[in-house]
Amino acid sequence: MNNTNVLPGPTGPRRIDTLDVVRGIALIGTLATNIWVFSHPWGLWGMLDDPVLPDESAGAATTQLVLMALAQGKFLALLSLTFGVGLAIQHRAARRRARRWPGRYLWRATLLFVDGVVNYVLIAEFDVLMGYAVTAAVVSVLLLTRPRAQRAMILAFGALHLALISALVLLLTAVPGADVDAGLPAGPSPYATESFLGLALFRLDNVAVFRAEPVLIGFLSVAMFLTGAALWRAEVFGDAGARVRRRLMTAGAVAAPIDVALALTASPGGLLLERYVVAPVVALGILGLVAELCLRRGTEGWFARRGREVGRVALSAYLLQNLLGGALFYGWGLGVAESAQAWRVPVTVLAFVVITGVVAVSAHLWLRRFALGPVEWLWRAAAEGRRPRLEIPHDRPRASSAVAD
C-alpha cells in the first residue's frame, strides 16, 4: 500500500502522489489529442474542417479515427478533474490556516490566465489555460458553499451543458445544410508558410474561431472542477474511497464503447456527443482506475514514477510539449505536417512517442535537482511576490505543487 496517498494532515498539506500520477497521465493524454492538430497541414482550422486528409486511404483514416477516439475529450476532462482536486486542497489549506478565501487565489488565477494568453498567441491556438483560469476563479467562490449545494451545482451545470450540446446536435442533424463545412481559407496554409511571429498574428486574427471551445464547454468545466473537489472530499485517493472508485470505473466501462462508436461515425453530431458528453464519463472511469491501481501497487513503479514526475511539473510540461509539437510540425520548425502528409498516421504516432519521451526525460532530470518546474517557479514567484527556493530541500518533505494543488 502506498502511504503517500493521504489527505492533507493537520500540520500541513502532504503531496498526494496518486494525484501527480493522474495529472501526468492527463497531460500526456492531452498531447495524444493535440498531436493530430499539429500534424494536420492546416492545424486546428483543418481539424475543424475535416480531421482526415482528403488523400488518406480508408485504412489510414479508420486508424486515425480510432486513435483519436482513445484520447479525444477524455484527458482534457481528466485534467479538469485534477484541477478541481487541487483547488479543493488549496481551499482546505486556507481554511486550516485561517486565511481569507479566495483571497490571493484570484491573483493566481489571473497569472494563469496570462500564462494562457502567452501560450495561445505564441505556441498553441488550442490552449486550455485561459479557460481553466476563468473556471478556477468561478469555482474558488463556489467552494465557499456547502458540499450539498456544490453537488446540486454539479447537476445544474451538467444539465445546462447537456442541453447546449443537445441543441447543437439537433441543429446539425435536423436543419438542412447546418453541417456543411465552412471550408479552409484561400491560399497556402499559414502553418507551413508563416514564421513564428506570423503564426502568432494569425492566431490573433482568428481568435473568435480558436477560442470558441472554452466558451462552449464553460458549463462542463465548472461541473468537472466541482466534481474533482467532491471526489477529493470523498477520499477517492484513499482507502475509504473504494466504493467511489468502483462506481467511477463502472461508469467509465459502460461509456467507453459508446464513446468509440460515436467517434467512428465521423459525423459532426456524433463527434460533439463523443467529445463533450460521453468522454467526460470515460475520464471519471480513468480517474477511478488509476487511483485504484496506485493504491494497490503503489506509485514507485517505473511508469508510475514517470507519470508522477510529469504531473509535478505540469505547467512546464504542458508548455514544453506544445512548443515541441510546433517546432516539429510547423513551417517555422521542421515543417513535417506539410512534407509528410502521405505518411501522416505513422509520423503522428512516432511524434507523440518522441515528444512524450523528451518531456518525461526532461521532467526526470529537472526534478533530480529542483523541487519546482521552471515555469512553476516563475509562476509561484509572481503569485507570492517573493522568490521561492528552487533546489530540493533534503532535510524536509517536498512541498506541494503550486500549479494544480
Domain that holds residue 255: 17-384
**The pLDDT of residue 390:** 61
**If you search the block for the grid coordinates 473556471, which residue do you land on?**
135
Answer yes or no: is 139 within a domain: yes
Q: What number of residues does the chain have?
A: 405
Percent with pLDDT over 70 in the chain: 89
Asked, for residue 302, whether it belongs to a domain, the answer is yes
Any domain includes 12:
no
Mean pLDDT of the residues in the chain? 89
pLDDT at 5: 36
| pLDDT at residue number 403 | 43
CA 173 to chain centre: 29
In a domain, 391, yes or no: no
Give the dihedral of Cα atoms 227, 65, 246, 22; nearest 10 deg.
-60
Between these two residues, 185 and 176, which has the higher pLDDT value? 185
pLDDT score for 80 = 97
- pLDDT above 50: residue 10: no
Residues 141-169 have a mean pLDDT of 96
CA-to-CA distance for 302 and 13, rounded, in angstroms?
25
What number is the average pLDDT over the span 93-116? 93
pLDDT in tens, 240-270: 999 999 999 999 999 999 999 998 877 888 8
Average pLDDT score over residue span 352-372? 96
Is 399 a domain residue? no
CA 131 from centre of chain: 11
Percent of the chain scoring above 90 in pLDDT: 75
Answer whether residue 7 is part of any domain. Answer: no
- Total count of domains within the chain: 1
Predicted pLDDT at 176:
65
Whether residue 203 is contained in a domain is answered as yes
Is the pLDDT confidence value at 73 over 60? yes
Minimum mean pLDDT among 96-110, 164-178, 325-339: which range? Answer: 164-178
CA distance 165 to 398: 43
Asked whether the beta carbons of 368 and 49 are under 8 A apart, the reply is no
Domain contains 48: yes
pLDDT of residue 13 exceeding 50? no
Reply yes or no on whether the pLDDT at 218 is more than 80. Answer: yes
Q: Which residue has the higher pLDDT, 175 or 222?
A: 222
What is residue 71's predicted lDDT score, i.e. its pLDDT? 93
Q: Which residue has the higher pLDDT, 390 or 190?
A: 190
